[in-house]
Amino acid sequence: MKKASAIVLFVLFLMPLVAFAQTQEESKAKEPTTKLEAFLAKKGKLLIKEFYKLGEVPGRYGSKIQCDALVIYEPGLEGQRIRGIRVEITEGGKYERSNTSFLDMEEIESLSNAIAYMVDLSTKWKSTSKAYTEVIFATRGDFNIGFFQQGTEVTAFSTSGYVGKASCYFASNQDLSTVKTIIDKGLKLLQEK
């Protein structure tokens, strides 16, 4: 009887701690991690948002990745434009869901270089049998892109989001090159804006 009471008291003691930890984790997930997210979170300000379609890449199972260049500013402060890329990943299927990530201008070139490296590496490894190996690039805005190899089978993927993550598995590894082309197009366009 005392043992059962002690367990109940212990559980009652832990419940507020678990709830606090969960609240802390949720509040971290809501914090803006990119300049674009922080600017978009402004309230009580008039914002001008310019979207430029860059392209999309279809994935397996009805999924896709879509990229847009984004320029945001307040009227009268055009010299303080925030530029970057918005990446939306949509999962297909019965329970379709999507998630959006933002890449600041400073991350775009690194992403392009990382994808180029991944394409070269996956080509080198294609005839080599590997234990499960994953190569991934992650941005501050919770966009991930990469590939994994098990044996000689290579699968390229991208994900967006922290909570409620959406994934796109590409039909072939060449789709990484297509994403790179889209990202490079966005970088060039944003450098001109």
Q: For residue 54, what pLDDT is reported? A: 98
Mean pLDDT, to the nearest integer, of 15-40? 64
At the second CATH level, the architecture of 35-192 is 2-Layer Sandwich (3.30)
| CB-based burial label for 37 (10 Å; 0-12, 13-18, 19+) | buried
Find where tokens 């998630």 sit.
99
Q: Could you tell me what percent of the chain has a pLDDT over 70?
A: 84
For residue 53, name the pLDDT band (cuts at 50, 70, 90): very high
Mean pLDDT, to the nearest integer, of 18-33? 55
Q: How far is CA 71 from CA 38, 91, 122, 143, 155, in A?
A: 13, 26, 34, 19, 33
Find where tokens 């991350």 sit.
107
In this predicted model, which residue has the larger pLDDT, 11 or 71? 71
In this predicted model, which residue has the larger pLDDT, 126 or 182? 182
Q: For residue 5, what pLDDT is reported? A: 52
- The yes-or-no verdict on residue 128 having pLDDT over 80 is yes
